[in-house]
Structure 1
Amino acid sequence: MEGKRILYIEDERSMAKIIVDMLHLKGFEVLHLENGKDILEILKKFKPDLCIFDVMLPHIDGFSVAHRVRSVNTTIPIIFLTAKGLTQDVIDGFNAGANDYIKKPFSIDELLIRIAHQLKQSEQAASAAPAADRILGDCIFSSQQYTLQVGDSIFSLSQREVEVMSLLFQRPEEIINRKQLLLSVWGDDSFYNSRNLDVYIRKIRTYFQASARISLITLKSVGFKVILK
């Protein structure tokens, strides 16, 4: 991971210094900013491989910064650092386009592991051979374009949504085991990642609401199943 670029936005200077120094020691190139008001210009100039955003920022909060990033880049990994831990805050984070969400206080080792995992996932997605569009019912899923077309509606997908959708579209009408899905997409089936999965399943289910031919059901404690009507 040496030489990878990280954009880190955090207004708490003492914390930022510790994290920036550690990332430098690990070989990362880091651009630290205290606010994200000029995020689109920053992306053009710095071209990061991964973003780390605090949620509570001056001028514009981290969720809003992520929304702006996703308007121009749907694939770059985004990690939120926050003191907020309520379920709705987690949901808001993933709705903003986050790939991961770390609650303060956290250890540097935890942050490094999560950074490494996100960069590995990003590299694997970039190196994978482009997949053909997959048609299921009245839905067209493009893992290459990061889109899901349902009837006349087209939804832009995050990298994590693409990973989950790929598994769901590979095996329609079959039960996708919850644990296997977690291990395939997140690399472990921890309680935290299980909550993240539920957030993405709810989002994907809202996309399917525009479909007359597909629904996504949850089989409690078992997994998920795409049903063709």
Structure 2
Amino acid sequence: MKPRILLVEDDTNLGFVISDQLKMEGYDVTLASDGMDGFKRFNEETYDLCIFDVMMPKKDGFSLAMDVRKINLTIPILFLTAKAMTEDKIKGFNAGGDDYLTKPFSSEELKLRVKALLKRVNIHAGSENEEKVQIGDYTFDISNYILTNGSSEKKLTKKEAHILKILSKFQNQVVAREMVLNAVWGKNDYFVGRSLDVFITKLRKYVAADSKVVIENIHGIGFKLTVESDA
């Protein structure tokens, strides 16, 4: 299985060039053109490495990295920027970045940085990266959108799986409504908000067989996937 890279770059031409270079090295690359789209795509699939341009519309690279870190503390993040100032680099590392590449850069330097970051987390071409989460008596196969409980199996829709993925990452913690909306729909307005409520209702039914698992509405804030321990 090819290592998967999420590349978020608002310069279309540069984005295609970087994407092609990485694909030639054997990586599976997803390209997004702004920070909001990048965050949505991050929550749609599982990646091994993120490459974020810093100066982007809708959501800059630093803000995107901070949102990603709320969900995943370990995925390597490489920043691309035209700024070489020390304070900008410090800001990037404080936002959760692992490395920093200043434009313009050579394709060889980019490839070496990517290889080094993946090696740091022991990701190599051909490695499997299945992701399953335990939610009470349920096992949630994030990659295949399947929720199982004993012999019972439920195939989730893509959006149902994305919402449950976020909630399951923060078991017994409150997740802001806006964060779920931006991650799944890429926007936050009244209409998608109503859609979210419908999906939450469906997910509650899917986990209803286990009384230890509850998806709570936290009024004015968001949601909380509560999983009581057996102890």
Relative to the length of structure 2, the TM-score reads 0.51
Rg comparison, structure with higher value: 2
**AA in 2 matched with 1:93:** G
How many Å separate the matches in 2 of 1:43 and 1:52? 11
The residue that corresponds to 1:4 in the other structure is: 3
RMSD: 1.6
How many Å separate the matches in 2 of 1:18 and 1:36? 19
How many Å separate the matches in 1 of 2:99 and 2:63? 16
**AA in 2 matched with 1:79:** L
Question: Are residues 1:43 and 2:47 paired?
Answer: no
Question: Are residues 1:115 and 2:105 paired?
Answer: no
Q: CA offsets, 1:107-163, max 9 Å, x none?
A: 010000000000000118x9xxxxxxxxxxxxxxxxxxxxxxxxxxxxxxxxxxxxx
How many Å separate the matches in 2 of 1:78 and 1:86? 19
The residue that corresponds to 2:89 in the other structure is: 90
SS across alignment from 2:96 = coil
The 8 Å contact of residues 39 and 69 in structure 1, kept in 2 or not, is answered as no
* Distance apart, 1:17 and its partner CA: 1.3
**AA in 2 matched with 1:63:** F
The residue that corresponds to 1:61 in the other structure is: 60
The residue that corresponds to 2:73 in the other structure is: 74
Q: Which is bigger in relative contact order (C-alpha 8 A, separation at least 6)?
A: 2
Q: CA offsets, 1:61-90, max 9 Å, x none?
A: 100000000011000000000001111100
Question: Are residues 1:26 and 2:25 paired?
Answer: yes
Q: CA offsets, 1:89-111, max 9 Å, x none?
A: 00000000000000011001000
SS across alignment from 1:123 = coil
SS across alignment from 1:19 = helix
SS across alignment from 2:83 = coil
Give runs of aligned pairs for residues 54-203 of structure 1, distance below 5 A: 54-123=53-122
SS across alignment from 1:7 = strand
How many Å separate the matches in 1 of 2:71 and 2:37? 13
Relative to the length of structure 1, the TM-score reads 0.52
* Distance apart, 1:43 and its partner CA: 2.2
The 8 Å contact of residues 39 and 68 in structure 1, kept in 2 or not, is answered as no
* Distance apart, 1:45 and its partner CA: 1.7
How many Å separate the matches in 2 of 1:57 and 1:41? 15
The 8 Å contact of residues 4 and 29 in structure 1, kept in 2 or not, is answered as yes
SS across alignment from 1:106 = coil
**AA in 2 matched with 1:14:** N
How many Å separate the matches in 1 of 2:58 and 2:121? 30
The 8 Å contact of residues 35 and 64 in structure 2, kept in 1 or not, is answered as yes
How many Å separate the matches in 2 of 1:38 and 1:14? 17
Query: Which portions of structure 1, spanning 4 or more consecutive aligned residues, are displaced by more than 4 angstroms?
Result: none
User: Is there any run of 5+ residues in structure 1 with no aligned partner, and where?
Assistant: 127-229
**AA in 2 matched with 1:65:** L
How many Å separate the matches in 2 of 1:57 and 1:7? 15
SS across alignment from 1:37 = helix
* Distance apart, 1:42 and its partner CA: 2.0
How many Å separate the matches in 1 of 2:34 and 2:40? 13
Change (3 A) 1:123 1:79: same
